[in-house]
Structures are given as structure tokens and as C-alpha cells.
Amino acid sequence: MKTKPRQKVAYLTVKFVLGLATLVIGLICASVVMFQINGSSFAAPNRYVLGLISFIAVVSGTMLLNDAWVLMGVLKGRYELPTYDSIVKAYQALYSVYLSKSKSKDKTEEEDED
């Protein structure tokens, strides 16, 4: 069952907003750790945990934004996704090249033995 284009756009909007929010939270956490904005509640282990969380948030937010950006391009027709048939044809072409090289290798080995 195909989804309606409106549902795809709403999905991409949610993905974009979620990625942007995650990226901003990660950058805020990273600035807290980097510039040592400390209160009495931050102990040394808490800084390491906050640094790790900020790193994970920045990476995952960036990945979400990249996914939304690429999928928007796919919906607009800038990129084409490979179909199953094109993947099978490419695999068959590679396999036929492999077979022809292996046959020619066998023939050269037989000629060397003679």
C-alpha cells in the first residue's frame, strides 16, 4: 500500500524537527562541558556523561537532518533510488564478467601446462 505524498511530507517534517532539536540540545550540552559552566551539582563523572551524551546527540541529530534532506531530494526527483530489477541486472553483469575471467584463466593455465 502506497503512502500519500502528504503523509511523506509530514514524516519528513517530523524527522527534520526532531533532528534539529536533537542537534541543538547536543550543542548546548557540549558548550556546557567545553566552557565548564558549572554549578554545584556537576561532579567530575557527570561531566564525562554529559560529554558523551552531547556527542551522541550531535551525531544522531546530524544523521536525522541528513536523512530528511536526502529524502526531500528524492521526493522532488533530484535523485533516483535503484529498483530491484536494476540491482539484479548489475549483479548479473558482474557475475558474467567474473565467469568470463575465470574461464579465460582456466584456458591460460591449460595452455601453460601443454
Q: Model confidence over 47-73: pLDDT tens digits?
A: 788 888 889 999 999 998 998 888 888
43 and 18 housed in the same domain = yes
43 and 68 housed in the same domain = yes
Q: Is 70 exceeded by the pLDDT of residue 3?
A: no
68 and 111 housed in the same domain = no
Contacts 24+ apart (CB under 8 A), 7-15: 8/71, 8/75, 9/75, 12/68, 12/71, 12/72, 12/75, 15/64, 15/67, 15/68, 15/71
44 and 26 housed in the same domain = yes
Q: Is 32 exposed, middle or buried (0-12, 13-18, 19+ CB in 10 A)?
A: middle
Confidence band of 108 (pLDDT split at 50, 70, 90): low
The amino acid at residue 109 is E
* Domain span at 7: 1-81
- For residue 110, what pLDDT is reported? 61
16 and 54 housed in the same domain = yes
pLDDT digits (tens, 9 = 90+) for 64-104: 899 888 888 877 878 777 788 888 888 988 888 888 887 77
pTM for this one?
0.57
53 and 106 housed in the same domain = no
Q: Tell me how many domains the chain contains.
A: 2
- For residue 114, what pLDDT is reported? 54
Selected residue with higher pLDDT from 40 and 35:
35
90 and 56 housed in the same domain = no
